[in-house]
């Protein structure tokens, strides 16, 4: 296995027509979950991926399993339990902003413990991909994730996106838990607002020094339309976005970016090329409704590169 991810996926209900939910005629269901978004992207790029999670023994859980399996992600270690599958409503407002309303409390995934986690599968992988969402689901999942990283073989690289969701916990809770988690992380991928929440400033050079002092060797800071900064393998640099895309649905951009980073780690790419591809993928996906639907296949990316040699994606 190349990559294993642990995390919750839910059914996202998106109103039709787009606009305020109060005027909806109907809702379209999508699979949504930061970790499955990244795994699906990696799978489309040709990597072997596996997902560890828990779903309700219900039709929503079946819906998620069918969609994730169809993307060639191994779901053999996803358990189904007597608790329910999480759901949320996603409204893309006329001004382009996205608002989510979660119904995920006490979901099957929020009750995951180390007992239900397939450590052999994780320890047989090259990368473990995890996000701060799992740290925020419940006390149980927080404890589970700390236990998982403590039981990890040294050669499994941990890639971590804080993915701070302020509807899940307060800034203070997120800061305390994530900073405590950082010594277990090999690659940190943080957004600029997350740097602010974690360290109280946006001086990115100082932030990278600080994160390294917390014990995390490789840092990537996403700057949105301005590209990204990195400090990897002791080399610090900045990458501009290779292309600007017209944004329709920004959700999933960070997960696509993470897929670019993990793919680069698996292929042993040099940092600059890896981050450039990650920036490209993060922008590209925002042209499509749905978290991962627009994620390109390897063939599509190569065709785009061939079509525009200068972009060096």
CB of 120: closest distance to ligand KDG in angstroms? Answer: 26
Coil, helix or strand for 284? Answer: helix
Using alpha carbons, list the distances in angstroms from residue 17 to 30, 33, 90, 294.
Answer: 15, 23, 12, 20
For residues 33 and 260, which CB has a smaller minimum distance to ligand KDG in the complex? 33
Q: Identify which range of 28-36, 138-146, 202-210, 230-238 contacts ligand KDG by CB under 6 A.
A: 28-36
Residues in the chain: 313
- Count of chain residues binding ligand KDG (CB under 6 A): 11
Which among 219, 275, 278 is positioned nearest to 42, based on CA atoms? Answer: 278
Asked if residue 220 binds ligand KDG (CB under 6 A), the reply is: no
Q: Which positions from 31 to 70 touch ligand KDG by CB under 6 A, shown as an x/- string?
A: -xxx--x---------------------------------
Q: Is 125 left (phi over 0), alpha (psi -120 to 50) or beta?
A: beta
Decide if residue 255 touches ligand KDG (CB under 6 A).
Answer: yes
Cβ closest to ligand KDG, residue 208 vs residue 251: 251
Residue 133 in contact with ligand KDG, rule: CB under 6 A: yes
Would you count residue 290 as binding ligand KDG (CB under 6 A)? no
Smallest gap from Cβ 196 to ligand KDG, in A, equals: 19
For CA atoms 265, 267, 271, 277, the dihedral sign is negative
Which CB, 264 or 290, lies closer to ligand KDG? Answer: 290
In the complex, least distance from residue 31 CB atom to ligand KDG, rounded to whole angstroms: 8
Q: Is residue 251 within 8 Å of 98, Cβ to Cβ?
A: yes
Q: Closest Cα to residue 9, out of 28, 27, 24, 30? A: 30
Query: Cβ closer to ligand KDG: 102 or 245?
Result: 102
Q: Is 212 in the site for ligand KDG (CB under 6 A)?
A: no
Q: Is 2 a residue that touches ligand KDG (CB under 6 A)?
A: no
Residues 235 and 273: beta-carbon distance below 8 Å = no
Residues 6+ apart with CB under 8 A from 246: 287
Give residue 267's Cα distance to chain centre. Answer: 19
Which of 188, 291, 295, 313 is the binder for ligand KDG (CB under 6 A)? 291
Helices (H), 45-126: 59-70, 119-123
Q: List the beta bridge partners of residue 28.
A: 14
Q: Which of residues 147-176 bind ligand KDG (CB under 6 A)?
A: 165
Around Cβ 237, how many Cβ atoms within 10 Å? 12
Binding ligand KDG by CB under 6 A: which of 132, 162, 252, 290? 252
Does the footprint of ligand KDG cover residue 194 (CB under 6 A)? Answer: no
Kindly list the residues in this chain that would bind ligand KDG in the complex (CB under 6 A): 32-34, 37, 133, 165, 251-252, 254-255, 291
């Amino acid at each position: 296995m190349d990559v294993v991810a642990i995390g919750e996926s839910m059914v996202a209900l998106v109103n039709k027509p787009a606009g305020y939910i109060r005027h909806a005629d109907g809702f379209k269901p999508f699979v949504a979950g930061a970790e499955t978004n990244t795994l699906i992207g990696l799978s489309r790029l040709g990597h072997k991926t596996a997902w560890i999670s828990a779903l309700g023994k219900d039709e929503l859980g079946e819906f998620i399993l069918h969609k994730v399996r169809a993307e060639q992600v191994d779901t053999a270690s996803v358990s189904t339990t007597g608790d329910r599958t999480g759901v949320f409503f996603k409204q893309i407002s006329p001004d382009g902003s996205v608002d989510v309303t979660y119904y995920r409390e006490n979901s099957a995934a929020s009750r995951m413990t180390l007992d239900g986690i397939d450590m052999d599968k994780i320890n047989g992988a090259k990368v473990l991909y995890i996000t701060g969402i799992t740290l925020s689901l419940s006390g149980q999942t927080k404890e589970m994730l700390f236990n998982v990283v403590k039981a990890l073989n040294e050669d499994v690289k941990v890639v971590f996106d804080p993915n701070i969701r302020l509807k899940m916990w307060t800034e203070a809770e997120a800061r305390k838990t994530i900073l405590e988690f950082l010594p277990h992380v090999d690659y940190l991928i943080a957004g600029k607002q997350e740097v602010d929440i974690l360290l109280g400033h946006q001086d990115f050079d100082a932030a990278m020094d600080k994160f390294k002092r917390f014990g995390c060797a490789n840092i990537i800071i996403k700057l949105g339309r301005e590209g990204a900064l990195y400090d990897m393998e002791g080399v610090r640099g900045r990458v501009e976005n290779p292309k600007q895309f017209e944004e329709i649905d920004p959700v999933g951009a960070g997960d696509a970016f993470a897929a670019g980073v993990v793919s680069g780690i698996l292929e042993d790419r040099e940092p600059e090329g890896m981050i450039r591809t990650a920036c490209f993928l993060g922008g590209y996906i925002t042209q499509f409704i749905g978290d991962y639907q627009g994620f390109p296949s390897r063939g599509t990316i190569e065709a785009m590169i061939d079509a525009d040699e200068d972009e060096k994606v």
